[in-house]
Amino acid sequence: MTNAIFVHHSDSTRYQFGEQHPFSPVRITLTLDLLQAAGALRSDQITSPSATADEEQLALVHRADYINAVQRLSLDNPAQEAAAAAGKYGLDTEDTPFFPGMHEAAATIAAGSIHAAELVMSGAATHAYHMAGGLHHAFPDRGAGFCVYNDAAVAIQYMRKTYGARVLYIDTDVHHGDGVQWSFYHDPDVCTYSIHETGKFLFPGTGFVHEKGADAGYGACFNIPMEPYTEDDSWLECFRSTITKIAEVFKPDIIVSQHGCDAHAYDPLSHIHCSMRIYQEMPAIIHELAHKHTNGRWVALGGGGYDWWRVVPRAWSLVWLTMTDHPIAQQLLHREDVPLPQSWLDKWAPASPEPLPESWLDDMSHVLPIPRRAEIEVKNRLTAAIAVQDL
């Protein structure tokens, strides 16, 4: 068995809403290049799905009329009737506009997440990482929040149908993992967990503590909404205390994690004030939980993250470094910072609108503390306690 496999298909970079759109595939290119420059990703560790996800696979989560609408809107010149119906399916907004080749690109991403799930559940690999995945806002009947097909939900449902697996889904994106939550809200064998900025102030406006599942699925849904301007210590305290307890009680067969990295202080689309430290420690915690509860079975996906240059490449790389027990990850665990590869900095610095960081972690010495730090920490601690009080 291989320890970890990196799943990537070049067609996933065709998932692009426009050059000015914040959800840019340049994030994937920058991260792949950083991992290779660091000597952390070899060609023999990379595999690709053999085909795009077919309609039967997409229909594990998505309605047939929605899949058909996506296909029709993916043509270079969609029929007037199809374009007129785009709004019904959430595909005419500034966030999630339809584009040529949309179905093929989104189906390729769904196929990558299914492939990662199959690699782990079949025993071919202990861990699998599909960085292009994590499109957690798509619903069975509509797209939303930059997401067309919900690859995470499709992969989870594939594992439920094929292997009868109990799945713990961990979402660390700053935005609530709503599409995955609602897809499994009635399923007691899929536990959805999301830590995010509170929906009181941030899209999608959901993910409150009282959302706990329904019917047989009640008690298999957990949300940890953090206050704006939460910092590293509070975020990590709430994450570790809740997810450790939940994993212990739920007893999953596999963990699927989504690693949106938009809770960083640099991110332009949220109000959380964390540093790269949370993106080093959260994968380490998940890795630890996988080896404790699931015989190591762990599928990791990408997600959001809109500071393409300074944050996403480091954060997404750290997931892979953790999965593979790379020496860099081990050094960072011991609080030793490590410089980024000079070749990567030299290559990309001219294109970056901001000076690139020179090391894997952030220098926080010049960052002023948030004035309401103590109040925020108390509120977050109370929220976390309420979220798991029934366990």
Q: Mapping DSSP to helix (H, G, I), strand (E, B) and coil, where does residue 194 land?
A: strand
Cβ-contact 290, 282 below 8 angstroms? no
Q: Which of 62, 137, 176, 196 is catalytic?
A: 137
Cβ-contact 91, 99 below 8 angstroms? no
- The encoded tokens of residue 302 equal 């990408």
- The encoded tokens of residue 263 equal 């809770």
- Residue 120 CA to residue 167 CA, distance in Å, equals 12
- Is 137 a residue of the active site? yes
**Cβ neighbours around 223 below 10 Å, total:** 26
Instruction: State the number of CA atoms in the 13 A half-sphere of 121 facing the CB.
Output: 24
Q: Mapping DSSP to helix (H, G, I), strand (E, B) and coil, where does residue 226 land?
A: strand
Radius of gyration of the chain (CA): 20
- The encoded tokens of residue 272 equal 């959380």
Cβ-contact 96, 148 below 8 angstroms? yes
Cβ-contact 126, 296 below 8 angstroms? yes
CA angle, residues 384, 208, 225, in degrees to nearest 5: 45
Q: What are phi and psi of 384, to 5 degrees?
A: -60, -40
- Residue 13 CA to residue 120 CA, distance in Å, equals 24
Q: 204: cis peptide before it, omega within 30°?
A: yes
Say which amino acid occupies 192.
Answer: T
| Residues with catalytic roles | 137
